[in-house]
Every structure is written in structure tokens, then in C-alpha cells.
Amino acid sequence: MSFSVLGTGSYLPPRVVTNDDLSAFLDTSDEWITQRVGIRSRHVSATETAADMALRAAEAALANSGITAGEIDLILAASVSAETVSPSVSCLVQRGLGVSCPAFDLNAACSAFLFLLDTADAFFARGGVNRILVIGAERMSRIVDWTDRSTAVIFGDGAGAMVLARGGEGEYHPAQLNVTGGDEVIRIPQNHGNSPFWEGDDSRPYIFMDGQNTFKFAVNAICHDVKTVVAEAGLTLDDIDWIIPHQANIRILDFAARRLGVPMEKIATGIETTGNTSSASIPIITDALWRSGRLLRGQTVVLTAFGGGLASAACVLKW
């Protein structure tokens, strides 16, 4: 079974935080952040939760698709930074939209949006479902340690969504989903609670990332996953109009592009003004491409993501 993307939407909170704003309280500089990561500013939420942003992105995606919320049969969402574990983001969006379809979240960190697309594909194959709303929403500012310059400068907040329809003119080729489980390179511990019986570690509930090992993992994952899905779709890299990657570091994308032999003009980049928004980054950058008229119907795109888990994923889509 295949599906088409009917429309996209995104939401970025209005508060823009520049590198100079961060330099005011962290030992960092605009020069270091732009050169090493490629970020100039990011959006940071002052009042919206991850679920609030998810709802805004979902409403924008529905409007862009020309369908009503009542026509959605299933809502799938992902977030590593939501304020509540339950209700999940998708359940809060379901209430916000005033609909009654099933809704659930999954967790695959920064790769989650592609795990969601593959889950949607399986639901279309299962039958009885014609339209699915898929959302990545993150308030990363909730889970970074704002005293740690090695992570605080990298992340941003926002949400992105797509409305998918069973069949249609588009084509979805099943994804590569890869996991090498472990917490040495990236971890986001939860609060350990106040159990008087707990005798284990009490690690701080903030993102930890071994940047250099994540960097190497990311470049290898992009190159391996993109080549694999393109070959599995019976295509070559010359057939691909856009590679739309998870936005984590402009240098990661530059390395991967050179190793793949793909010009940077074919790689979608938006990290400069959003930072790394984890599971939201792919739908946010895709929405920007689509609304600006650079992504066109009939084009072939590869989506590629990597991050905590360690997980990575890629898929080929005819738009």
C-alpha cells in the first residue's frame, strides 16, 4: 500500500533567540555556533507546550490539505520533550481538533517522524483508514540544560505536520528503520521520582550528547540509509530532486553531501533559523520547501533522519 501527502503545516513560537542572546549568559559566541553548527537563531517557546505547537501545526496542515479535521481517521505524533507522558501529544491534538479518531504517540527521538510515516503506511495497508495526520512536536528548551553550552546552543522548539491520504498520485517506498540500542552517545533521562525504594542512579533529567560520536554516526547513517532506500526503490541519486534530512548540524549535511556526491543545492537546509527541533525538524523543513514552491508535485524526495536510540531512518517519497 502507498500513500500521498495531501498537505503540510508547521508552527514556530514567536520568540526568536539569537546566538548573541545566548552569549549573554553562556561561554559561547555567534562565531563558534555559526561555524561549528550553522545556526544563527532558533525559536524558543515562552508559553506554548509541545502539544499546543502540535495543534497549531496540525491545523495548518489540514488547511493546506483542504480537508476538515473530521475527515482524519488516525492521529500519530512523536515528541521527546512533551510536558505530559499521558495524555500523549496526539491525544491532546485530538481533543483540540474536536474529533474522536484513535490517536497515539511513538518514540524514536529525532528519527521519529520517519517511524511515524512507516507506521501510517502499515495502517493504510491494514485497511479502514483513509487519512492520517502525522505530527512531530518538540519543546526542546524544556529538556536542555541551559548551563551546558555544548547542548543549549543547538536545539530549538517547534512542530511540523503532514496529512497523508491512502493511494493517490504520490508514492511511498517502505523505509529503512535502523536501531543500535544504547545510551552511551545520546540519552534523555526522565526524573527518577521520589520512590523511597529506588536505589539506582539519579541522573539529571536533561539531554546528554557525545557530540563527536553523534556526528560520525549521523554522517554514516545518512550515507548508508539514503543509498539503500534509493537502490531499493530502483532509482539512482540522479533521480532524486530533494534530500530532506533531519536538521542537526550544517557540517553533517555538508560531509554527507560530499560523500554521496550530491550537490548541496539538492539538500534541504533550514537549521540556520530553527536549530535542531528533533522529531519536528523534517516536517518543518518540508513545509517550508512546499510552501515556498521549491518542492513540486511529481518530484522524488528522500527523507533521512538520525539521533537518539541510536536510531536512523530514510524513505523515498514521490511528492
User: Contact between 32 and ligand UT7 (CB under 6 A)?
Assistant: yes
Beta pairing, strands 242-245 & 300-307: parallel
Min CB(276)–ligand UT7 separation in Å: 5
229 Ramachandran zone, left/alpha/beta (phi>0; psi -120 to 50):
alpha
- One of 1, 17, 96, 215 touching ligand UT7 (CB under 6 A): 215
Q: Residues 64, 110, 249, 315: which is the catalytic one? A: 110
Q: Annotated catalytic, 276?
A: yes
Which helix H or strand E contains 289, and what residues bound it? helix 281-291
- One of 2, 211, 227, 232 touching ligand UT7 (CB under 6 A): 211
Q: What is the DSSP string of 40-62?
A: SEEE--SS--HHHHHHHHHHHHH
Q: Residues 19, 43, 101, 246: which is the catalytic one? A: 246
User: Contact between 216 and ligand UT7 (CB under 6 A)?
Assistant: no
> Residue 154 and residue 38: Cα distance in Å, rounded?
9
- One of 17, 18, 30, 36 touching ligand UT7 (CB under 6 A): 36
User: Contact between 307 and ligand UT7 (CB under 6 A)?
Assistant: yes
- Of 187 and 291, CB closest to ligand UT7: 187
Min CB(67)–ligand UT7 separation in Å: 31
Q: How many residues bind ligand UT7 (CB under 6 A)?
A: 21
Q: What is the DSSP string of 75-118?
A: EEEE-SS-S-SSS-HHHHHHHHHT--S-EEE---GGGHHHHHHH
User: Contact between 110 and ligand UT7 (CB under 6 A)?
Assistant: yes
Q: Annotated catalytic, 192?
A: no
- Of 60 and 311, CB closest to ligand UT7: 311
Min CB(151)–ligand UT7 separation in Å: 7
User: Contact between 212 and ligand UT7 (CB under 6 A)?
Assistant: yes
Q: Annotated catalytic, 101?
A: no
Please choose, from the candidates 178, 117, 150, the residue with its C-alpha nearest in 3D space to the C-alpha of residue 303: 117
Q: CA-based angle 295:170:233, to the nearest 5?
A: 95
- Of 216 and 291, CB closest to ligand UT7: 216
Q: Would you say the C-alpha torsion 257, 258, 262, 266 has a positive or negative sign?
A: positive
Footprint of ligand UT7 on 149-178 (CB under 6 A): 149-150, 153-154
Q: Do 202 and 217 form a contact (C-beta atoms < 8 A)?
A: no
User: Contact between 28 and ligand UT7 (CB under 6 A)?
Assistant: yes
Q: What is the DSSP letter of 24?
A: T
Q: List interacting residues with ligand UT7 (CB under 6 A).
A: 28, 32-33, 36-37, 110, 149-150, 153-154, 211-212, 214-215, 218, 248-249, 252, 276, 278, 307
